Amino acid sequence: MMVDVRLKDITKVFGKVVAVRNMNLEIKDKEFFAILGPSGCGKTTTLRIIAGLEKPTKGRVYFDNQDVTSLPAKFRDVAMVPQFYALYPTTVYNNIALPLRSRGVSKEEVKQRVREVAELLGLTEKLHLHIDKLSIGDKQKVSLARAIVRKPKLYLLDEPLTILDPVTRIIIRSELKSLQRRIKQTIIYVTHDQIEAMSLADRIAVMNMGVIEQVGTPYEIYDKPSSRFVGWFIGEPGMNFLEAEVDKHSSAIKLGSQEVLQSKTLVSKLVEKTNNNKVVIGVRPEYIYLEKNPREAGNGYTIVKGVVELIEFTGTHYIVLVGIDGREVKVKMNVEDYRRLNIAPKENVYLRIPLDKILFFDPVSEKRIL
């Protein structure tokens, strides 16, 4: 069974609030697709529009090029797995069998399909158990099994793992990913958790304020965010952004009084893409190295001088906040590197930044230009 989902010019308005604005999105057949964004960004509304639980104010929804915009939810053949499972107080077997029985599937076939699904999810040994005897993780698996047993065209999952403890969450998440590979069906997964989206999805749509900011594979989004919002939202801490000046005459890019790099081709490209002489430099905290002693910029990297403002210890890492001429940069270091470096607030440090990790954004539109 093949399903690709296409949203064309979708807008959804609730009263005065525009929940989704002019959205265009294509989800490919058999894809594990995540819709990621902070609370209130419109991701759940988008999912409900795909399910047929909300009607878009404007725009069309297509399944395999067939317009389903006016098709009621029950005829769309999609399964929605919610954040909180709603199970019946009976055995695991009955819970999984129920969606089939209510569709008048024969007893023999019910039996066979329940067993197949139980096998797939590792629930075979637990089929006879009462639902109350299960762990939260297993209950969420039963909830998933009820969706799978119907063999729907499309799975829609709305933050189904948030209630689990961290270790169980990672294990079930991995099981879900390998399950998707076996059943070879399209899954659309909504989450606010960037790590979850990065870990699960083939591709991610990052949403903010009703608009899709970027669609791409986890590392396309991580390495080349298309806007400041995406750079900030992905990664912990998010990307650093520094206002810089472009000097056409000397072909240099400057942070205040410091020259970051000099390149005729780069500067002319930047000047072409932005109307003024300002750009925003984006660089991830984990790509910057700190050094105590001054040194010249070298092949493939630049050196910027700064002052340590504060140091945060997070257990697994140190986050060093460095001031550069009134700007601030976060540097993420592993514990051993940090302790070897031995720095304290107010000390001078030198930031070594690999040139291939530097991105450029437009200061007005906030979109990436290079």
Say which residues have a Cβ less than 8 Å from residue 167's Cβ, sequence separation at least 6.
Answer: none
Question: What is the Cα–Cα distance from 160 to 53, expressed in whole angstroms?
Answer: 18
Closest of 268, 267, 242 to residue 255, by C-alpha = 242
Residues 204 and 198 sit within 8 Å (Cβ to Cβ): yes
Nearer to another protein, 59 or 216 (CB): 216
CB of 63 vs another protein, minimal distance in Å: 29
In the complex, what is the shortest distance from the CB of residue 184 to another protein, in angstroms, rounded to a whole number? 16
Beta strands 348-354 and 258-262 are: unpaired
- Report which DSSP code applies to 326: T
Kindly state the smallest distance separating residue 363's Cβ from another protein, in Å: 15
- CA separation for the pair 28, 4 (Å, rounded): 5
Distance CA 114, CA 130 (A): 16
Nearest to 27 by CA among 174, 179, 155: 155
- Compare residues 102 and 316 and give the one whose CB is closer to another protein: 316
* Shortest distance in whole angstroms from residue 178 CB to another protein: 6
Per DSSP, the residues of 68-137 read: -TTS-GGGS-EEEE-SS----SSBHHHHHHHHHHTTT--HHHHHHHHHHHHHHHT-GGGTTSBGGGS-HH
Considering the complex, what minimum distance in angstroms separates the CB of residue 343 from another protein? 14
Judged by CB, which is closer to another protein: 38, or 363? 38
- What is the C-alpha separation between 31 and 215, in angstroms, rounded? 13
> Measured from the CB of residue 166, what is the shortest distance to another protein in angstroms?
6
The nearer residue to another protein, 300 or 315, going by C-beta atoms, is: 315
Q: Which is nearer to another protein, 310 or 364 (by Cβ)?
A: 310
Q: Is 2 or 195 the residue whose CB approaches another protein more closely? A: 195
Q: Any idea which residue has 């139980």 for tokens?
A: 118
CB atoms within 10 A of CB 57: 14
C-beta closer to another protein: residue 170 or 355 = 170
Shorter beta-carbon distance to another protein: residue 32 or 233: 233
Distance in Å, CB of 247 to another protein, minimum: 27
Using CB under 8 A, list all residues that contact another protein.
Answer: 38-39, 165-167, 170-171, 173-175, 177-178, 192-193, 195, 198-199, 218-219, 222, 232-238, 284, 286-287, 309-310, 312-316, 319, 321, 330, 334-335, 345
Report, in Å, the least distance between residue 330 CB and another protein. 8
